[in-house]
Structure 1
């Protein structure tokens, strides 16, 4: 079962450079990285509404979630997703697809290590160990090699 989740994660990661490439091309048509992000999020929202209507049937829980969730919970997809997507649109033409993915993954790993180390957002703690540190350092070394040549 772990293999399934690993493969699902790899597949999810594989769509990111495609999404960034497509949205960068969209920026050329809209002449704005912000409008391109808006279009991307709008289409994604429409797809999610359709999927939700087809698969989710306990709509009373939505109101409960809105009323009881902490204020910061709403930043996940909206503001943070916008920062990620729009920066990728701006970075890809300058860095190329591979380096754009690598630098954003390195940023994700730094934040993920901090979240794991301190258990932020009420998540379980996974302490930094030498193997994890070496893995992150190797990723940054990979970025160095990619941008150097």
Structure 2
């Protein structure tokens, strides 16, 4: 249950972040908005880390270099999200974003990429994705 609450909060914050970044970008530029978002995110995470006091830094060397690119991906995500919101609106952007996430997570699960346990996808999961895509198309009409 707790995981579901965090997922809903994360989804809400992604939307709010996209709208805020879109507004920032209109004033100073999209890459500047991405930089500010990354900077404030870093400061916030650092402050939380200071209070939580998890000391797992010794395991840093065990992290594969590929996985350390997450921050760089975030900058591209912010740019894409901001640009899409400005061109298509918040609802369509977030809908398309969710479909893209689900599509890629299906591929990750089916193929066992990044060390995750392979999952078998059945017809109901594929029907769900098709229904979401149909929903986005209907939203766009």
The equivalent of 2:46 in structure 1 is 49
- Cα 1:57–1:122 shift into 2, 3 Å: closer
Match of 1:7 in 2: 5
Which of the residues 40, 58, 65 maps onto 1:71? Answer: 65
Q: CA deviation at 1:5?
A: 2.2
Distance 1:64 1:117 in 2: 29
User: Which secondary structure state, in structure 2, belongs to the residue aligned with residue 124 of structure 1?
Assistant: coil
Distance 1:55 1:11 in 2: 20
Hey, what does 1:127 align to over in structure 2?
Answer: 120
Q: What is the DSSP-based 3-state SS (H/G/I as helix, E as strand, rest coil) of the residue aligned with 2:75? A: helix
Cα deviation code 1:55-100 (max 9, x no counterpart): 1242xx32431x2321101012x12111211101001011111100
Among 101, 110, 132, the residue aligned to 1:117: 110
Question: What root-mean-square deviation, in Å, do the aligned CA atoms of Structure 1 and Structure 2 show?
Answer: 1.3
Q: TM-score, with normalisation over the residues of structure 2? A: 0.93
Measure how far apart 1:28 and its partner are.
1.6
* Deviation of 1:125 (Å): 1.6
The answer on 1:89 being equivalent to 2:86 is: no
SS of residue paired to 2:117 = coil
2:33 pairs, out of 33, 36, 42, with 36
CA distance, structure 1, for counterparts of residue 122 and residue 114 of structure 2 = 21
Segments of 5+ residues of structure 1 without an aligned counterpart are none
Q: CA deviation at 1:7?
A: 2.7
